[in-house]
Amino acid sequence: MLVRRAREGDPRAVARLITLVESGDAVLPQVAAALAPYAGQAQVVGLTGSPGVGKSTTTNELVRALRAAGRRVGVLAIDPSSPFTGGAILGDRVRMQDHATDPGVYIRSMSSRGHLGGLSAATPQAVRVLEGAGCDVVLVETVGVGQAEVEVASLADTTLVLLAPGMGDAIQAVKAGILEIADVFVVNKADRDGVDATVRDIQGMIALGERGPGEWRPQVVRSVAARGEGIDDVAAAIDKHRAWLEQHDQLRLRREKRAAAEIEAIALGALRARIGSLRDGTQLSTLAAKVAEGALDPYAAADELLAQLSS
């Protein structure tokens, strides 16, 4: 019923479905089964970058451009959660109030809940909810990330990495990590001093990469999102990458990898739950005691634990 109502455009049904996803409700397998026929119908675009580069403002302006093109848009804005209380401000959507009354836009803030990588553990299933709700494009905005938080690349069809002038020297441009996942680089706040140097550093980094004939070369786009400048160029770069993905059969491959990652995450979650249930019994504590006293090594203990789980 909730999926049917979401398909009809009821925002409350969409909100309820995402809440079920976030809480890991027992009906989640039924929800996933009802959403399965609608998988792969939305273009998923990830936006990531360091804190303060303008991700939320860029997302807001991208929504405006996509709506002008007549496309239904879903936004998942991931906010960091407190390591002490687990709470989150969920304030990214404050910057997107321009679209609050637009029935063609659904915006949801999600707490990372301590999950590393820039996303929430529930993000992949929340994307499926928005696909099922009929969104043509789903924008996933990560928390402010560092150099190694690259999980969004495994979720998105197209990944935008946002930078701003003055965020680091040229050495930052050749470090492994987040800069390697970009399909499109957006140099935001391009009205600042140093933008030419930033663009030059990124282009130099791209030139260092080895690419075969026909492989995608990341685009570099300048923008001033606070004034809406350059957003059409960003949207055009996203569309260009989508066309390349389809032409080279990479869209199917990316989505199969995404599905494999989802299956693995669900299976590991179920396995962790079963291991957690062992803590209430004696198996895990008995093995731990043997390892602590040197009677058993941890690898052998792990093998015994897995054997017990499969029995």
Does residue 169 lie in a domain region?
Answer: yes
| Residue carrying the six token digits 């553990």 | 121
Does residue 255 lie in a domain region?
Answer: no
Across residues 213-233, what is the average pLDDT?
94
Does residue 257 lie in a domain region?
Answer: no
Across residues 105-121, what is the average pLDDT?
75
Does residue 12 lie in a domain region?
Answer: no
Across residues 196-211, what is the average pLDDT?
86
Q: Is the pLDDT of residue 91 over 60?
A: no
**Largest Cα–Cα separation, the chain:** 68
The last residue of one of the domains, among 195, 224, 248, is 248
Across residues 160-178, what is the average pLDDT?
69
What pLDDT is attached to residue 280?
A: 67
pLDDT band at 84 (very low <50, low <70, confident <90, very high): very low
- What is the total count of domains within the chain? 2
Percent of the chain with pLDDT over 90: 49
What pLDDT is attached to residue 67?
A: 96
Percent of the chain with pLDDT over 70: 85
Alpha-carbon distance of 24 to 1, in angstroms, equals 18
The last residue of one of the domains, among 196, 226, 248, is 248
What pLDDT is attached to residue 90?
A: 54
Q: What is the mean pLDDT of the chain?
A: 85
Q: Is the pLDDT of residue 177 over 80?
A: no
Q: Is the pLDDT of residue 75 over 60?
A: yes
Alpha-carbon distance of 181 to 95, in angstroms, equals 26
Q: Is the pLDDT of residue 72 over 50?
A: yes
Does residue 20 lie in a domain region?
Answer: no
Alpha-carbon distance of 269 to 258, in angstroms, equals 16
Do both 234 and 273 map to the same domain?
no
Does residue 16 lie in a domain region?
Answer: no
Do both 242 and 275 map to the same domain?
no
Instruction: Identify the CATH number of the domain in which residue 124 sits.
Output: 3.40.50.300
What pLDDT is attached to residue 266?
A: 85
Domain that holds residue 284: 262-309
> Which DSSP letter does residue 116 get?
S
pLDDT band at 47 (very low <50, low <70, confident <90, very high): very high
Does residue 227 lie in a domain region?
Answer: yes
Do both 286 and 240 map to the same domain?
no
Sheet holding 73-79, edge to edge: 105-111, 73-79, 137-141, 43-49, 158-163, 184-187, 219-222
| Residue carrying the six token digits 């009821």 | 10
The last residue of one of the domains, among 225, 248, 271, is 248
Across residues 80-102, what is the average pLDDT?
61
Do both 271 and 242 map to the same domain?
no
Do both 147 and 282 map to the same domain?
no
Across residues 205-216, what is the average pLDDT?
83
Do both 106 and 177 map to the same domain?
yes
* CB atoms near residue 213 (< 10 Å): 4
Alpha-carbon distance of 55 to 180, in angstroms, equals 18
What pLDDT is attached to residue 212?
A: 79
Do both 149 and 230 map to the same domain?
yes
What pLDDT is attached to residue 159?
A: 94
Do both 238 and 285 map to the same domain?
no
Do both 189 and 70 map to the same domain?
yes
Do both 285 and 187 map to the same domain?
no
Do both 166 and 79 map to the same domain?
yes
pLDDT band at 249 (very low <50, low <70, confident <90, very high): very high
What pLDDT is attached to residue 144?
A: 75
Do both 225 and 93 map to the same domain?
yes
pLDDT per residue over 259-290, tens digit each? 998 898 888 888 887 777 766 667 888 899 99
